[in-house]
Amino acid sequence: MSALVASDLCMGYTSGKLRTEVLRGLSLNVDGGQLTLIAGPSGCGKSTLLSILSGLQRPDAGSVIALGEDLFRGDRHARDRFRLQHTGFVFQGFNLFPALTALEQVMLPLGYMGVDDREAEARGRATLDEVGLSDRMHLLPAELSGGEKQRVAIARALVKRPELFFADEPTSALDAANGQIVIDTLRRIAHEHATTVLCVSHDPRLVTHADRVLQMEDGAILDDRRVAHDGTAEKENVP
């Protein structure tokens, strides 16, 4: 069963008398345990698609089945509960709290999930160690580099052990070395945790690390390629 199934998604914005269609009847199946990259020019709809698939934004029309559940059938509170329990999200701007240490940032979502403090700290330490930050866990964001901040954000999303992991331009604010570390981390999350990782990015390095590359333009998927273990690419049929 696909981890995500989107059907006939439509989304647009109105400014005055001008209506801009961002998604135009887009349909998509996403398999679990893979790193899927959504690429395309600015304004093509890829961040809007990620926002809808993650439940952050409701489409004008269409449906999303996430882990077998209709994401938009219930109210906003039901959707928020689903996102808390099953998804992780990494933003371009890190979204860290200035007054919290790296460990406190990572422990935070576990508190909302009802995990007790002792287990939350143990899981937070283990997850920071997994992303290579065990020696930085007591530092504040102002004391961390951009790459370290992004890895803290990844750890905060990963500590929940989500089945679905979303990343919006996770390497855009990073230098080459730190960007590569983040890319390697996202691929490892998909393969070692059997997590569905869906990433929006302009970074061409992600193309060679992804299991599947979706090329978007003008609110539609124009190209769909899966990369086999031997490095060859297989083109999918795009409706």
DSSP string, the chain: --SEEEEEEEEEEEETTEEEEEEEEEEEEE-TTSEEEEE--TTSSHHHHHHHHTTSS--SEEEEEETTEETTTS-HHHHHHHHHHHEEEE-TT----TTS-HHHHHHHHHHHTT--HHHHHHHHHHHHHHTT-TTSTT--GGGS-HHHHHHHHHHHHHTT--SEEEEESTTTTS-HHHHHHHHHHHHHHHHHS--EEEEE---THHHHH-SEEEEEETTEEEEEEEE-TTS-EEEPP--
Q: What's the whole-number mean pLDDT along residues 3-22? A: 91
* pLDDT at residue 188 is higher than 90: yes
Distance CA 49, CA 209 (A): 21
* pLDDT at residue 131 is higher than 70: yes
Q: What's the whole-number mean pLDDT along residues 192-201? A: 94
232 versus 14: which is more confidently predicted?
Answer: 14
Q: What's the whole-number mean pLDDT along residues 131-137? A: 95
Q: Please, which pLDDT band fits residue 92 given cuts at 50, 70 and 90?
A: confident
Q: Please, which pLDDT band fits residue 236 given cuts at 50, 70 and 90?
A: low
Q: What is the model's pLDDT at position 173? A: 81
- Reference 185, options 141, 147, 142, 145; nearest CA is 147
Q: Rounded mean pLDDT of the chain?
A: 91
CATH T-level assignment (fold) for domain 30-59+75-231: Rossmann fold (3.40.50)
Q: What's the whole-number mean pLDDT along residues 203-222? A: 90
* pLDDT at residue 111 is higher than 90: yes
* pLDDT at residue 227 is higher than 80: no
pLDDT tens-place string over residues 39-53: 998 888 999 999 999
Q: What is the model's pLDDT at position 93? A: 82
Q: What is the model's pLDDT at position 233? A: 54
* pLDDT at residue 217 is higher than 60: yes
Q: What is the model's pLDDT at position 235? A: 61
* pLDDT at residue 228 is higher than 70: no
18 versus 153: which is more confidently predicted?
Answer: 153
* pLDDT at residue 221 is higher than 70: yes
pLDDT tens-place string over residues 68-90: 999 999 889 999 999 999 999 99
Q: What is the model's pLDDT at position 16? A: 84
| Domain coordinates in residue numbering, the chain | 30-59+75-231
